[in-house]
Structure 1
Amino acid sequence: MNRRAVFVLSNKGGAGKTTFARGLLDLYRLEAKEVAAYDADGKVGQLVQHYGQRDERGALLPLQDPKIGCGFFDIRADDDRDVLINALADEPERLLFDLPGGLVGELGKVIDYGAAPRGLFDEYWDKGYAITVVIVMTPVLASVRTVQESLEAFGPKVNYVVVKNLAFGPRDSFILFDGTDRDGLRFPSSLGKAAVLDAGGVIITMPPLEARSYALLDVFNLTFKEGALGQGRGRQLPLADRVRVRNWLQDYEQQIYPARTLLGLDSAEQADPANPTPAPPSAWRDAGAHARGAAA
């Protein structure tokens, strides 16, 4: 498998899956890695709103180049779901799909008649794609259950990355997933966590971004990169917010480092799980310094 397809999902909207997908897409493009990105929530999806190509008036182009902007389709629509197969035609090195919250079952309606998407994934494997399912979770019980249900649905041939979204609380908030024995509470580690680790998956965290800065990115339809580096429309963002976004990107890059191979950022040959290396200095720090120098 010399290519990678990444599906980002969660049990419901608002868990942070698109935030994770946005950070990953920016990192792919910062590192000049070929990726075709798709928003499966149609034209209203947050990924295409921030990363889609626009005309001179700022309107989204109806036809997107997913390697430059962001393709979009409605996974709820029978005809639109074909994009999940048609995206393989050009055989990009990486495919990134941001799925609407709670609609994972739609993957099984492409060629599997509503069952688990084993036939769909077979098409990817036949084209040389390793598959990574990214599950972005919150501390609530429904989110914890989604981890185990996803592993049961997708099977052992898929790679798994579980992302604990720290916007919902610090690391020790995920007691229903990790287990706890403190403050008079005793919960065992969840079956989902055990299943992820048994399958060779990786559990990481995603840092929170200050709400004001996140909101301003939405107001101006900015990518994280544009906001952090003050590029294009990002020049409208106040400097303090640019700094916060850039610091968030640095933290994001560091926290996802253990999953770089499963996310298609490093090849399998570059990774040695038995001898993991510490995370290198952030590429976003260098990019920020370059942007400040260019502005001066």
Structure 2
Amino acid sequence: MTGDKGGVGKSTFARGLLQTYLDTQQQFVAFDADTSNPQIKRFYEKECTVLPLDIFKRGQADIFLDRLKNLIDPPKQEGQENAEPGKSLFLLELPPQSIQFFRSFEYEMGFFEMVGKDLDLRVTMGAVINRTKDSVNQLSHLRDFCGNNVDYVVIKNLFFGDEESFERYDNSSLVTELKELKAPIPEIYMPDLIAHAYDYLDENNYSYAMGITQTEKLSVKGRVSKWMENFKNSIRPVKNLLGLENVSL
């Protein structure tokens, strides 16, 4: 998950996706690389495996790649008759301004080729955007660099307005070019969660599931429950790109 700009809602979307993975009993591992604001760790470390990753520290990306391999094909531990089952689904939340990390990692190690050929994984870049030109520019830079090595999903955050409010993206040269090539990027909308419910989860470090099961605030339960329902409906058209191809939402 990337927004490559703070405050666009990438952590909100990442948490919704994690909750969906949990609700549908997926076997996955999450990596939280936003060390300055590790939200998925704060909200979900008690409910699933969330591993820290400091991508701006040289050598950590190497550790990440080796860890992925061991998670996919776990080595048999001493005393074990059989190795533990491997994982095949991973979520990585990137911090703002992280595209340079991928540039250097690709240049130094050939990241995309190794992930595809050696780990048999396909990367999806989920890009959360707001209404500003900055979001469009960051997405354009991301695509210029990643090219066809990854799949893309654009997530329009309805916190910033209704579905018609993303004119800068809709009318951008990037969208026009891709439509002419008959290769548009899939677009979805992330529903807006009313402020008091969002703030309640934030204050209590509650996952979305905990917001639904808590008994103190009935309004929060209703708001979060419906938000998760709408969230799952919103990602259904792109579920194959989010590791949920054979899952009923």
Q: Give me the TM-score of the superposition, normalised by structure 1.
A: 0.73
2:3 paired with 1:16: no
Q: Contact 1:151–1:195 (CA<8 Å) still a contact in 2? A: no
Q: Give, in angstroms, the shift of residue 147 of structure 1.
A: 1.9
State whether structure 2 residue 173 is matched by structure 1 residue 191: yes
* Partner Cα separation in structure 2 for residue 25 and residue 215 of structure 1: 19
Question: Matched residue of 1:147: which SS?
Answer: helix
Map 1:105-254 onto structure 2 (within 5 A): 105-110=100-105, 112-113=107-108, 119-126=110-117, 127-178=119-170, 189-194=171-176, 198-199=182-183, 201-228=185-212, 230=213, 234-235=214-215, 237-254=216-233
Q: Distance in 1 between matches of 2:178 and 2:32?
A: 26
Q: Secondary structure at the match of 1:171?
A: coil
What does the per-residue CA deviation read over 1:187-207, in whole Å, with 9 as the maximum and x for residues that have no partner? xx2122245554453111101
Partner of residue 78 from structure 1, selected from 38, 43, 58: 58
Please identify, of 99-108 and 127-136, the stretch whose mean Cα deviation from structure 2 is larger: 99-108
Shift in Å, 1:156: 1.2
Q: What residue is the counterpart of 2:83 in the other structure?
A: none
Q: Is the Cα contact below 8 Å between 2:115 and 2:122 reproduced in 1? A: yes
TM (norm. structure 2) is 0.85
| Alpha-carbon spacing, 1:44–1:177, altered in 2? closer, same or farther (3 Å) | closer
Q: Write the deviation string for residues 203-230 of structure 1: whole angstroms up to 9, x where unpaired.
A: 11101001111111111111112212x1
2:45 pairs with one of 32, 44, 52: 52
- Distance in 2, Cα, partners of 1:100 & 1:196: 27
- The alignment partner of 1:97 has SS state of strand
Give the conservation status (yes or no) of the 8 Å contact 2:186–2:238: yes
Between 1 and 2, higher relative CO (CA 8 Å, sep ≥ 6) is seen in: 2
Give the ranges of 4+ consecutive aligned residues of structure 1 lying more than 6 Å apart after TM superposition: none
What are the ranges of 5 or more consecutive residues in structure 1 without an aligned counterpart? Answer: 1-7, 55-67, 179-188, 271-279, 284-296
Q: Percent identity?
A: 29
Q: Which amino acid aligns with 1:82?
A: D
Coordinate RMSD, CA, aligned? 2.1
Match of 2:89 in 1: 94
C-alpha contact 1:50 1:222 (8 A) present in aligned 2 = yes
Q: Is the 8 A contact 1:162 1:203 kept in 2?
A: yes
Offset of 1:254 from its aligned partner? 0.8
Report the CA distance shift for 1:200/1:34 in structure 2 as closer, same or farther (over 3 A): farther
Aligned equivalents of 1:72 and 1:144: distance in 2? 28
Deviation at 1:73, TM superposition (A): 1.7
Change over 3 Å in CA distance of 1:46–1:157 after alignment to 2: same
More helix by share: 2
